[in-house]
Amino acid sequence: MMNYICVECHTTYPLESNKWKCDCGGLLNLEYDKKAVDFTETARSRNHSLWKYIDALPFGEEDVWQEITLGEGGTPLLKIADHVYAKADYYMPTLSFKDRGAVLLIAMAKKLGIERVVADSSGNAGTAIAAYGARAGIQCDIFVPESTSSKKIAQIEAHGAVIHKVPGTREDTANAAIAMVENTHSFYASHIYNPIFWEGTKTYVYEIFEQMNNKIPDAFIIPVGNGTLLMGAYIAFQELLANGQIEKMPKILAVQADNCAPIMQAFAEGRDTVEPVEHSGTLAEGIAIAAPARGTELLHAIRVTGGDIIGVSEESILEARKQLALKGIYVEITSAANYAGYLQYVEKYPELKDQQLVFPLCGAGIKSN
């Protein structure tokens, strides 16, 4: 049995209900029976995609995903320095880590007989939804901020999606998409509201665990806007812990851009809820979220793992992008914030220099103007 469950009142809804939030206004998580992944088996598998972790995913072995997969997952772990690795998730079919979640969400929409989906995005999630939607024969309406990189917009349009450019903030873009969802009763393929998406992003952690010979790093440096990767990582930590495959959760060391850091502000002030901030503009468009819908859950995950959250300056992001490029790694500007965050974290906590750290390279350099 698989249901959405409200994080506030615990009401459950079948997936067929097409709900994107609870009647009480609460956000939805996903509940279903999961099996532990047999990492001895997956290490031997000829399938190098994220679907080799099928036992921990909300699909069966012979299921609709077989027609929709583009081979996403199985991205390399690159050594950056002693004990420090970068997971090159820009090796994905649409050149960003969002493919992990998009393939699961679109496969589920296809399974439910959905013919039209609506999504809002700063670019990468919209591209991923558009690509997998095209593959599944599902019409996609993608809402993006007017300021989105022209390269990302071109990529979304290439997959046949209808683009809706929205003036104003990222929150204005989300509100425009939600208005369309409610007016047309379309399926909301949201990487924020629909928890099926994180069932895909959690495979990021499964892959790292397997690539490190069934060991978990001491800490994960994770960028946070809406928290898609952080939510997935935290789910994976809980599953590995529950299955006795790790003894304790690694720390989540989150990163925001100084110019748009509502979660960092709430964390620093010891609050459990996140207040919207004034977005003063950041080049890291992928994490420029002034009012994250999942703020409370993100704060909880960081605190439970004994983690922290810091902000990085625009100058440090650009410098980090340059430094990565000189190591042969060309990433979009948002991804460079993760390397900037790593450099700042090892200054803040010198003991991290002797610990194993991983940070993601979320999107390819050609995505940024």
pLDDT tens sequence across 352-367: 999 999 999 999 999 8
φ, ψ at 234 (rounded to 5°): -65, -40
Q: In the 8-state DSSP scheme, what is residue 219?
A: E
What type of residue is 27? L
Handedness of CA 252, 256, 261, 262 (dihedral sign): negative
Beta sheet of 116-120, edge-to-edge order: 162-166, 139-145, 116-120, 187-188
pLDDT of res. 278 = 82
Could you count the other beta carbons within 10 Å of the beta carbon of residue 251?
21
Domain boundaries, the chain: 1-33, 77-93+198-367
Q: Looking at the DSSP assignment, which residues form a beta bridge with residue 360?
A: 87
pLDDT of res. 170 = 86
Mean pLDDT of 274-286: 86
Indicate the range of 109-113, 122-126, 173-177, 259-263 predicted with least confidence. Answer: 122-126
User: How far out from the chain centre does Cα 152 lie?
Assistant: 17
Report the CATH number of the 77-93+198-367 domain.
3.40.50.1100
pLDDT of res. 123 = 84
* Strands (DSSP E) found in the chain: 3-6, 12-14, 28-31, 77-81, 84-87, 116-120, 139-145, 162-166, 187-188, 219-223, 251-257, 308-312, 357-360
pLDDT of res. 285 = 85
User: How far out from the chain centre does Cα 259 lie?
Assistant: 21
Res 26 pLDDT > 90? yes
pLDDT of res. 17 = 94
pLDDT of res. 254 = 98
Average pLDDT of the chain to the nearest whole number: 96
Q: How confident is residue 350, by pLDDT bands cut at 50, 70 and 90?
A: very high
Indicate the range of 133-142, 176-185, 245-254, 276-285 predicted with least confidence. Answer: 276-285
pLDDT of res. 341 = 98
pLDDT of res. 75 = 98
CA gyration radius, the chain: 19
Instruction: Tell me the helices (H) and strands (E) count for the chain, helix number first.
Output: 13, 13
Res 286 pLDDT > 90? no
Report which of 20, 31, 22 is spatially closest to residue 117, judged by C-alpha positions: 20
- How much of the chain, in percent, has pLDDT values that exceed 90? 91
Q: How confident is residue 305, by pLDDT bands cut at 50, 70 and 90?
A: very high
131-162 pLDDT per residue, tens: 999 999 999 999 999 988 898 899 999 999 99
pLDDT of res. 281 = 84
- And the tokens for 234? 């935290």
- Beta strands at 219-223 and 308-312: parallel, antiparallel or unpaired: unpaired
Res 171 pLDDT > 90? no
Res 277 pLDDT > 80? yes
pLDDT of res. 280 = 76
Beta sheet of 251-257, edge-to-edge order: 77-81, 84-87, 357-360, 219-223, 251-257, 308-312
Rounded Cα distance, 136 and 29, in Å: 24
Mean pLDDT of 166-186: 93
Mean pLDDT of 27-48: 95
pLDDT of res. 358 = 98
235-275 pLDDT per residue, tens: 999 999 999 999 999 999 999 999 999 999 999 999 999 99
pLDDT of res. 288 = 87
The kind and range of the H/E element at 155 are helix 150-158
pLDDT of res. 252 = 98
End-to-end, the C-alpha distance of the chain in Å comes to 45
Rounded Cα distance, 136 and 111, in Å: 10
User: What is the b/e burial string over 91-109, where b = at least 16 CB atoms within 10 angstroms of the residue's CB?
Assistant: bbbbbbbbbbbbbbbbbbb
Report which of 369, 367, 363, 365 is spatially closest to residue 100, judged by C-alpha positions: 363
Q: How confident is residue 1, by pLDDT bands cut at 50, 70 and 90?
A: confident
Report which of 20, 37, 336 is spatially closest to residue 188, judged by C-alpha positions: 20
Q: What is the pTM of this model?
A: 0.96
Res 208 pLDDT > 80? yes
pLDDT of res. 110 = 97
Rounded Cα distance, 143 and 154, in Å: 13
The kind and range of the H/E element at 57 are none
Res 127 pLDDT > 80? yes
Res 128 pLDDT > 80? yes
Q: For residues 197 and 188, is the Cβ–Cβ distance under 8 A?
A: no
